[in-house]
């Protein structure tokens, strides 16, 4: 059975035909329009183009935001002007096949669980370190969405009381300390302080601010300042994972996003911080950590796999 997955990002829309094994048969990519009407048009055009070449049974749409438990309505989207948007009904009326809506981080986590780093486990947490921190939870082989459909917003756990302001309106959220943006902030602070940040300070003087790719290059080169910036961010993530372990007890944490490209340079301090805060460490089973395998295709693949070909009956 072939399905279409569409992953709506802040700058691009990626869509593809995905088979039952998680293989992308055909893939398209277009820029994300700024207007919601034009965005819907772009999604419909993409899906119709893909359907013209393939027998598609269902369509899954992944987007950042709160999606209700029926996978039909976008309750709130941070970067798109959707508020209680009945996106499923809007798109189904124009596309002509069943449509399912899913949070983008959930979709990526499910893709990794089914076809990537999570294969072989039943309980998994994925944390995506991008501009913010996305989260997905799989328990007993099922995607956990919560009572209202908007669970697993792990980036918005309160990490530090009276901490840094977050775009969600609160303060001290995890994503302010464990994201790609947090890594840049730490690197710039180390540069400004001097000392071990000589290479960072030179970049800051030249560029005004230090980019994520530049930090990654310095980490891989063994630079002390960049390595310290990464350690601070990884420590925050590992400490959060220790707290999550006490509640959910997953077998595996999958780390994705741009920062995850640093591999073991990231996972080493993450594991250390996790072990440091884990209740009962030394006398209990511990989780393993892995880097995501599907890259930017995880959301597209995951949301296609989650798409329901026949409208599901909602149990009350």
pLDDT, tens digit, 9 for 90 and up, residues 53-90: 999 999 999 999 999 999 999 999 887 889 999 999 99
**CB 155 within 8 Å of CB 109:** no
Domain with residues 121-179+225-292, CATH architecture: 2-Layer Sandwich (3.30)
Please provide the size of the chain in residues: 316
Q: Give the rounded percent of residues in the chain with a pLDDT score beyond 70.
A: 98
Phi, psi of 282 (to 5 degrees): 100, -20
The beta strand positions in the chain, using DSSP E, are: 2-8, 12-18, 24-31, 56-63, 66-67, 74-76, 83-85, 99-103, 124-129, 133-139, 142-143, 252-256, 288-291
**What's the Cα-to-Cα distance from 214 to each of 184, 187, 264, rounded to whole Å?**
10, 10, 18
Give the residue with greater pLDDT, 168 vs 274: 274
Rounded to whole angstroms, the Cα distance separating 256 from 220 reads: 18
Rounded to whole angstroms, the Cα distance separating 234 from 239 reads: 9
Rounded to whole angstroms, the Cα distance separating 255 from 122 reads: 17
Over residues 82-131, the pLDDT tens digits come to: 999 999 999 999 999 999 999 999 999 999 999 999 999 999 999 999 99
Over residues 138-162, the pLDDT tens digits come to: 999 999 999 999 999 999 999 999 9
Edge-to-edge strands of the sheet including 142-143? 142-143, 133-139, 124-129, 252-256, 288-291
The DSSP output letter for 128 is E
Given this model, what pLDDT does residue 313 score?
Answer: 46
Phi, psi of 205 (to 5 degrees): -65, -35
Rounded to whole angstroms, the Cα distance separating 227 from 187 reads: 9
Given this model, what pLDDT does residue 311 score?
Answer: 57
pTM, 2 dp: 0.94
In whole numbers, what is the pLDDT of the chain averaged over residues?
95
Task: Please state at what angle helix 224-248 crosses helix 198-207, rounded to 10 degrees.
Answer: 100
The DSSP output letter for 259 is G
Whether residue 315 has pLDDT greater than 70: no
The DSSP output letter for 158 is B
Give the residue with greater pLDDT, 166 vs 311: 166
- Per domain, the residue ranges of the chain are 2-109+297-306, 121-179+225-292
The HSE-up count of residue 293 (CA atoms within 13 Å, CB side) is: 15
Determine the 3-state secondary structure of 18 from DSSP: strand
Both tokens assigned to 95: 């596309």
Same fold, 2-109+297-306 and 121-179+225-292: yes
Given this model, what pLDDT does residue 309 score?
Answer: 85
Whether residue 9 has pLDDT greater than 80: yes
Over residues 262-277, the pLDDT tens digits come to: 999 999 999 999 999 9
Given this model, what pLDDT does residue 58 score?
Answer: 98
**CATH class held by domain 2-109+297-306:** alpha beta
Whether residue 251 has pLDDT greater than 70: yes
Of the candidates 100, 166, 107, 156, which has an alpha carbon nearest to the alpha carbon of residue 136?
107
Whether residue 312 has pLDDT greater than 50: no
């Amino acid at each position: 059975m072939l399905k279409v997955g569409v992953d709506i990002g802040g700058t691009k829309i990626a869509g593809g035909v995905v088979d039952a094994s998680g293989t992308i048969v055909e893939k398209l990519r277009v820029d994300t329009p700024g207007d919601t009407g034009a965005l819907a048009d772009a999604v419909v055009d993409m899906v119709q183009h893909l359907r013209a070449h393939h027998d598609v049974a269902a369509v899954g749409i992944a987007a950042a935001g709160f999606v209700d438990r029926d996978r039909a309505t976008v309750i709130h989207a941070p970067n798109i002007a959707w508020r209680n948007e009945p996106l499923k009904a809007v798109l189904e009326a124009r596309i002509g096949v069943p449509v399912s809506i899913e949070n983008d981080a959930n979709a990526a986590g499910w893709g990794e669980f089914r076809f990537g780093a999570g294969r072989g486990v039943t309980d998994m947490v994925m944390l995506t370190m991008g501009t913010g921190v996305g989260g997905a939870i799989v328990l007993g082989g099922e995607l956990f969405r919560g009572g209202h459909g908007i669970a697993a917003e792990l980036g918005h756990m309160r990490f530090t009381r009276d901490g840094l302001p977050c775009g969600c309106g609160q303060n001290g959220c995890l994503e302010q300390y464990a994201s790609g943006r947090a890594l840049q902030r730490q690197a710039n602070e180390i540069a400004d302080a001097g000392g071990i940040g000589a290479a960072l300070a030179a970049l800051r003087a030249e560029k005004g601010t230090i980019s994520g790719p530049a930090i990654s290059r310095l980490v891989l080169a063994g630079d002390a300042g960049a390595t310290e910036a990464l350690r601070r961010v990884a420590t925050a993530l590992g400490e959060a994972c220790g707290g999550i372990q006490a509640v959910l007890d997953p077998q595996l944490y999958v780390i994705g996003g741009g920062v995850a490209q640093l591999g073991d340079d990231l996972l080493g301090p993450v594991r250390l911080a996790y072990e440091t805060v884990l209740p009962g460490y030394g006398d209990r089973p511990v989780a393993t950590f892995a880097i995501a395998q599907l890259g930017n295709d995880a959301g597209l693949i995951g949301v296609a796999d989650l798409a329901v070909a026949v409208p599901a009956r909602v149990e009350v």
